A and B are shown apart, each in its own frame.
Chain A
Amino acid sequence: MSELAVERKTKKPRLNWSKKTKRSILGVSMVLPSFLLLLVLVIYPVALSVMESFKSRDGMWTLDNYLYLFTEPHMLNNIKHTLQVTVLSSVFVLTIAYSIAVYLRFNHSWIAKMVGKLYFIPMFIPGVIAIYGFINFYRDNGWIARLIGEGNLPSIIYDMKGLLMINIWFNIPFTTMLLVSAMSSIPNAVIESAKDAGAKKRHLFFQFIFPLTYKTMLVALTFLFMGIVGSFTAPFLIDRNAPQMLGVAMQQHFSSYNEIGQASSMAVFLFLLCSFVGYFYIRSNMKDSTKSY
């Protein structure tokens, strides 16, 4: 964008024309590769999908795909289920990760050190392997069930519970890492001077730690939402058959039912959902950048 601005400015005064033109050409040529990449890999397919979502099977313009998405009961259930899983997972992950981060920041025992070393292990285990391990462990006739007797374990696999658990497993490391770094950027002097001024634990948390980390929390929440709402592998392997998360439904509509228009409408819907969350993230960043800390 700034390149455009430069160009516009340079054209009007027509001073040192050649030098400035050279510079703006250089600027444009430096942005061009990444812009082209974006065009080919993102903008074009997105535009294609959007167009696809407004087309019927015989190539006519129609709103049927969206009508299907927003009126068909099982699709509405899918949307509801997707949002439910996403919101619940995000809340669980954020709560757990935030607690771990606070614990790691203010506790210096050997247990804390261990936790600090262990919490990002899930990041290094390939997703599919983790999921199959998880299924073996928790399914109705899995290891746990064999240990405590079959029938004593509530069903976890092929249920939302299992999906929430695996989402927690996958998302804790990165979220915790974000929050730990936010916590550790609170200088000790801030905490100590607050104590010195008479702040009790409750004041410390609500008036210092929380306000100083909530921006990072918002970032983490955005990442969580976007990551979970469009996830495929975990819900495909763990979740029950209906209702489905939109990622799974999309795949089915696309390859099993060959309903490309309907799959596209779901994709567009997910895209809008993510843009909406992204908008809030960007807005809060812009608002706070005036009083940066």
Chain B
Amino acid sequence: MSIQLSITNVTKLYPTGEGVKDINIDVRHGELVTLLGPSGCGKTTVLRSAGGFIDPDEGEITITGESVVNIPPEKRPTAMVFQSYNLWPHMTVEDNLAFSLKLKKMKKREWKEKVCWALALVQLSGTEKKHPSELSGGQQQRIALARALLLQPKVLLLDEPFSALDAKLRLELREQVREIQAREQLTMLFVTHDQEEALSISDRIVVMNKGKIEQMATPQHIYNDPASLFVAQFIGRMNFLKGEAAGNALTIGPLSLPNVKHLSGEVTVGVRPEDVVIANGKGQGIPAKVTKVMMLGHYAEVTLHTFLGVLKMFIDRNDIDHYQLNMGIAVTFTKVKSFNGQQVQMKKEEISL
């Protein structure tokens, strides 16, 4: 499919030294691409550059092949949904939705029809005469989405649109947006710091850190094969252990695994909790002591103490009875990822939100 939005070598540095450097992202027509990263990583800067609210220092942004760098936001073929305060508080829902249509000198019958269509799309028909303050947060964001859609943007930009909502609503809206996006073949650039949100709705995820792109790939690929230690830490849960790489072998305590990446010296090994399993043959696994078993719904989390450090392990909830506190077991890993260098300490809120 054709490329709808192309961001090439975009650099924007703030006086504080923060910003983004050499960002290259192509978004195809009908694709939902998510910019994911911790706060301050520059994802919003990229989005706002695309929307025209920030002038990049360098680089080119094109929409369907035409440069938009010098076009102000009111003339760009983009529409943006903000984190909050999206709706104009002094106007009714109908006025909010019809504003851009009236600016285009559309006839009343026509814009009424369009407003109706947009409200039906976000399942809020009948709220025309209400003021934003009479709607819930979720409803307001849906109206904001409808208003953005009425602009018929070539690219729809969403800046953490659900982050101010509670978890359940977030899930619902996320699904709804994905549905509308798929049905209307919309091209979307979506900013979030919630990795779960990114994994669930994106066609592709761009993981950013400190103004640079760490990895750009499908959610599956990013989860299964994180390109860097940062991505591994940021996406999903992962245990990190110290290992030693030499020749063809990767040694983690008593375990010896193939050295796929041909690293050497001290390495950090990442293991997803679901890839930690009970070792069958005796003497082959890492000895561990069960210190905590937590039921988490359709699975359970077991915390293990080993001489390599604390390990988290996911087990089937039906097997929960097999694990007792202070029980000694031996574990091995079905799949590991190895990275050069030391694990970076991240703040807790940056890892899982």
Contact = CB atoms under 8 A, between A and B. Distances in A.
Interface of A: 187, 189-190, 192-200, 203, 207-208, 211-212, 291-293
A293 B130 CA distance: 13
Given A194-B88, A196-B78, A198-B104, 9 more contacts: A187-B85, A193-B80, A193-B144, A196-B148, A197-B103, A198-B75, A198-B151, A199-B74, A200-B74
Contacts of A207: 99
B313 interface: no
Which 10 pairs across A and B sit closest by C-beta, in order of nearness? A293-B89, A187-B85, A189-B82, A197-B100, A189-B85, A195-B73, A211-B90, A291-B131, A195-B74, A198-B103
A196 B80 contact: yes
Contacts of A196: 51, 73-74, 78-80, 148, 151
B86 A189 contact: yes
Interface string B292-332: 00000000000000000000000000000000000000000
Contacts of A200: 74
B334 interface: no
A193 B151 contact: no
Interface size class of B (residues with CB under 8 A): 20 to 34
Contacts of B84: 187, 189
A187 B132 CA distance: 14
Nearest to B76: A196
A194 B80 CA distance: 10
A10 B132 CA distance: 39
Contacts of A195: 53, 72-74
Contacts of A208: 88, 90
Interface in B89-110: 89-90, 99-100, 103-104
A190 B73 CA distance: 13
A192 B80 contact: yes
Contacts of B82: 189, 192-193
> Which of A187, A193, A196, A293 has most B Cβ within 10 Å?
A196
A208 to B, nearest CB: 7
30 contacts: A187-B85, A189-B85, A190-B88, A192-B80, A192-B82, A193-B80, A193-B82, A193-B86, A193-B144, A195-B53, A195-B73, A196-B73, A196-B148, A197-B74, A197-B99, A197-B103, A197-B147, A197-B151, A198-B74, A198-B103, A198-B151, A199-B74, A200-B74, A207-B99, A208-B88, A208-B90, A212-B89, A291-B131, A293-B89, A293-B131
Nearest to A210: B90
B163 interface: no
Contacts of A211: 90
Contacts of B147: 193, 197
A193 B79 CA distance: 8
A216 to B, nearest CB: 13
A190 B74 CA distance: 13
